[in-house]
Structure 1
Amino acid sequence: MGRDLSGTIRSFLIILALSTCCFTTAPPDLQARVEQLEKYYVEIKEHFEAKIIDLETKVVRLEAKVEKQDSLLADLKKGHKPLKENVDINQHCRQNATLRTCHEIHVANPSYPSGMYWIDPDGQGIGDPPIHVYCEMEAEQSDVKGTTSILHDSESQMDIGNCTEPGCYSRPIKYYASDRQIEALIQLSTYCHQNIMYHCRKTPLNFNGIAYAWWNDKDGERHKFSNRSTTCDQLAYTEGYDLQYVVDNVSLPITRIHFSNPFKGFGQHQVSRLRCRGKAKTEAMPRSCEDLWRMGHNLNGIYSVKGAKQMETVFCQFDKRPNEQDFQKRIGYQDIKTRPVYFSGEGRRLFMEKLIPIPFDHDVVNIGGAMDSHSGVFTAPSTGTYFFSFTGLTGFKGGVVITEFTFLSSRGVEEKIMKHSTISFSKLTTFNPITVQSTLRLQAGDKVWINLDFRNDATFRFVDNTIFSGWLLEEEI
């Protein structure tokens, strides 16, 4: 490493000497020469910064090893027989059963000291390889022992430089763990957080309505620093300030940070490790594959879980994550549905609107909760075949009244499914009962409702004593 840096410095000095020579012998095109020299300077500066990051990463790892050695030394001074090296412990875990979090390691053996351990949040033998993390085993509060810390390449203080445009300083955060493993750890934990520390002077985060600094979450979404983090905005002060900004579970991990130095102050950032503690709560009787996964199951197969009224059978594919498609599939039997869906809504008020869903006053029954009587819209909870029936009474003078099922697919495509036309040529009020029925194959998320259409200047229209019913005939597994 030293030889590389010395070589780089020598190169810089040679370039500088050549540039100076050129200034004295070449025509006085100073601007071009200065720009070329600045380009060389930027390249060398970027090279130095990359070397510094590499060295800082090695320092972090060495510090973890020193902490481990200090712990072993403390045990020896107390006259206790020291535990085996953490590497040995983890080699044993990797050959037998690698635990998923530091909390699980602490529960398995509370005597293990703080240090570097191998864990496998997404499940042993599936998904991504195990990751090397720092486990904080000692804590004043017993409920936070076994905190998992994922290391990254931006833990030390780093200068933001002198660029002036909003967010012009941009640094990605590279973690020593895959995105899948990080996501699994967050889902397994009670609480996760990360801090952004900023030592600053005259380097505003937000100033005159302009965001000069922000950070990106796991999905790349941009987040401004909250308005309470405004100490750096006080340009009249000359001393430095330390700010701390906390990010919790929702958006973790932090993937990139942006700062700016428009008023020639200074700023140094430091991003803490991603820390997760505790174990996500699950009920004693699992209700889903996700509950089983949180409990520690990782073998793909068929399981029994607690349903709304009875035990249900599900197929769990644990080599996927809970938020991935096909992680869980419910299994039904002939003439028995694992997720019963049926409803009946009743309405008794006058309704005189055109081409909007007819609402209903109350639910006679609504098993599965798929019908929203207030809006009059049914949303299919799962893919399958459904039957719908509507009855009502219309009263109008002349013209044509059309009662129709309207279907809106989950892809946003709307179409009319079934129509019932009622025609009257009388100028007196005509009362007509209507009945519309339809059998539809729906995808999960598709919507169905009833609406009226009036043509040929039909007047005095209303619907009374309406009933809208439907149920799931067959669910597709």
Structure 2
Amino acid sequence: MIAISTVNVRFVVLLLLSWSSISSADATLNLEDQLRTLTQNYMQFKESVETNFEAKFHQVEDKNRQLEEKVIRLESKVQRLELVIALRENTVASKRVDPLTGRSSIPRTCREARLADPSLNSGMHWIDPDGQGVGDDPIYVHCDMTTDTTSVPHDSEGPMDVGHCADPGCYSKAVTYNASLRQMAALADLSGECHQSIKYDCFFAPFELDGIAFSWWNDKDGSAKFFWAGANTDVHTCQCGIDGNCVESFMKCNCDSAAPEQLVDSGVINDKEILPITRLNFGRTGQEYSSGVHTLGRFECTGQVAVTGMPTSCEDLWRIGHTLSGFYSVKGLKMVESVYCDFSKLPNEAGFQKWIGYDDVKSAPVYFYVQRNSAFNTTNVPIPFQISRLNIGNAMNLSTGKFTAPVQGTYFFSFTGHAQFPTSSSILTLGVGLYLNGNFIGWGVVEEYNTVNLQETPLTLQSTLNLQKGDEIWLQITLISDGVILFDNNDNWTHFTGYILEEELIF
């Protein structure tokens, strides 16, 4: 628009100049010619300007479009790079172990994944059931976050025709999973329940006929199995056999029937100790009218094996997430035990746990050493003491002479004293007994025959006892002759000691 306005101004100026330079006689003719020429020039100039402007506009548009395409290509490359980085990060994360916890940074089950990140949606996710950086690679599974179900896909999920063959197991199909058998065994050990569904559509294609097995499947160890529903059994059966509603009541499977109709047997194998199914074998479909189609479900696990209280084994430690091999303390039947856990192995593998010994664990120290500094001859009452050399835990009451067990465990006690026989007699006796809650346990006894002069004789008593918390132990004179005393003249000849040997765990 600016260029066109300039042309108009120039046109007017030229017109005025033309009027001032020509004579009036030729004015009209010259003016018309000049106007015509000027108009043509103006139109050509205008067309040129518009053409150039439109060309430049299209050039700018082309450059803008090229830039947009380039940006799209770059964004696509970035997305591909992000995908590659994500896959690499998954691989690296699967091998990364937290040095503080010894746990793999990738979850072991879908349940753990959801607990770690409640915002996760159901779908395909990476998990690492064996949980060890040096173990098998992580596996790509389907997670149902609403039911905490981990499903391992395989290559035989859709309906598959077994074709026509007559011999037992002449059709044989190996099942390939998106996971190693080791990872699936670890998943089963961690889960509260695992199962796998199987369906067989049949027409004159029996599993078993006249005692001959034509069809079976192989478990995780490769062993042949002939049941098609329920838990591990050596009995050939299907779900209808378990429910008692097969098409022929005396049969264990629908497909074993000779009825001329399309039949089906479907069931769920729920014994996680033998799953997953690794191979399917079918036969006796040699006739043109015979047919068999199998459909195998995914290996699925839910829940978690609960570990309550203090772990009692390496397996308990593994289940709650420990993956760093080393020495651990676990709860034994009565005491804390030390074990070595090799978490590069699975619980059912040799060398997973090695027992080391017992840990000397006590909730509190308990031991005492008390003395008397004077004679004592009262019978059937606890012997009191005046001097405390040690009384750690304050379980020994000197004034009452009673020891009260602060915890359940095994205790050792020892007593030493002197008996004095001051008078002449044919037989003199002193007996000091050990009592538990008023019940006689045992005693130490000394006797002198034909005593003539004053004589002092030592007596001793030792015992090891299993005590419950609150049990009371004391000493008392249970047998004494005239003139005999438990002698002490401030020389501290009377000693009573005790201490806990082993504390029993109570949970």
> When the two structures are superposed, what TM-score results if normalisation uses the length of structure 1?
0.48
Please tell me whether Structure 1 or Structure 2 has the larger radius of gyration of its CA atoms. 2
> When the two structures are superposed, what TM-score results if normalisation uses the length of structure 2?
0.46
